[in-house]
Amino acid sequence: MLACMASFDFSPAAVAELARADAARALAEDIGPGDLTAALVDPARRARARVLAREAAVICGAPWVEAALRQMDPEVAIHWLVAEGRPALADQVVLEVEGSARALLTAERTALNFLQLLTGVATRTATFVEAVRGTRALIVDTRKTLPGLRLAQKYAVRVGGGTNHRIGLYDAVLIKENHIAASGGVAQVLAAAARVTAQAAFVEIEVETLVQLKEALAARAKMILLDNMDLATLREAVRINDGRAVLEISGGVTLQSVRALAETGVDRISIGALTKDVKAADFSMRLKEI
């Protein structure tokens, strides 16, 4: 089976650099020429702050939180009580920080925005991953992400136990209905795709019927997306495929339907809602002067 295929380097160093860039952009958006309210606080004052999870969640976004805090106070002390990727309980303290009171106040909203968004993505992903546990199916993300935060959201999918699909249009080939129509058919478009395989992490073709599936297999497709098929058709598709290609499901997948879809025997289930319809997790920061 194909593993995580995203072309971005999600090493700790690369993630830290990504977080620094995202945090700098977000802070500039929020602060502009200066934080008028934090300026009311004596610059010499120091403070401690605690971040609480207001609901159960899978914690995600530590590199972004730390980047936001350190860009405002390079000497800030940061202590995570719940590690990245670990579950937090409702009303549990997940993070303690100590530093310049002004810096903590200025960075608070940016840090929490990243934490709530990415924790929301990781938590939702983990819920889907748990729902298909024991099957062969991987839970996979899509390109339905917030503009400018795609890599951060795809990182959060990984933290939640999911698998990344392509990062963008540049790193893999995904042939959909309109590509097939514009190219003259399944066999023709796959032949054209063969000429760019050296540049692509993978080539995948979407099919809507069992007839198209057979065409794709005859043309030696290695990865096939089964679009909006019912359970009976999916089971038949798995039988016809007989392990020749990686089979992925897409279209209208919900938490209520995902287990039955996984039990058809497909390899992957891609879900736009992991990053598109995500509900931000609820956190709050409480600050105390020291």
Residues annotated catalytic, as ranges? 109, 144, 176, 206, 227
CA–CA distances in Å: residue 281 to residues 53, 68, 88, 187, 284: 8, 18, 11, 46, 10
Q: Per residue in 3-39, is it b (16+ CB within 10 Å) or e — as a string?
A: eebbebeeeeeebeebbbebbeebbeeeeeeebeebe
Q: Are strands 203-207 and 173-175 parallel, antiparallel or unpaired?
A: parallel
The end-to-end CA distance of the chain, in Å, is 54
Structure tokens at 110: 């940016």
CA–CA distances in Å: residue 246 to residues 17, 38, 126, 153, 241: 33, 54, 22, 24, 9
User: The dihedral of CA 3, 13, 81, 155: what is its sign?
Assistant: negative
How many residues are there in the chain? 290
Selection from 191, 196, 245, 189 nearest residue 222 by Cα: 245
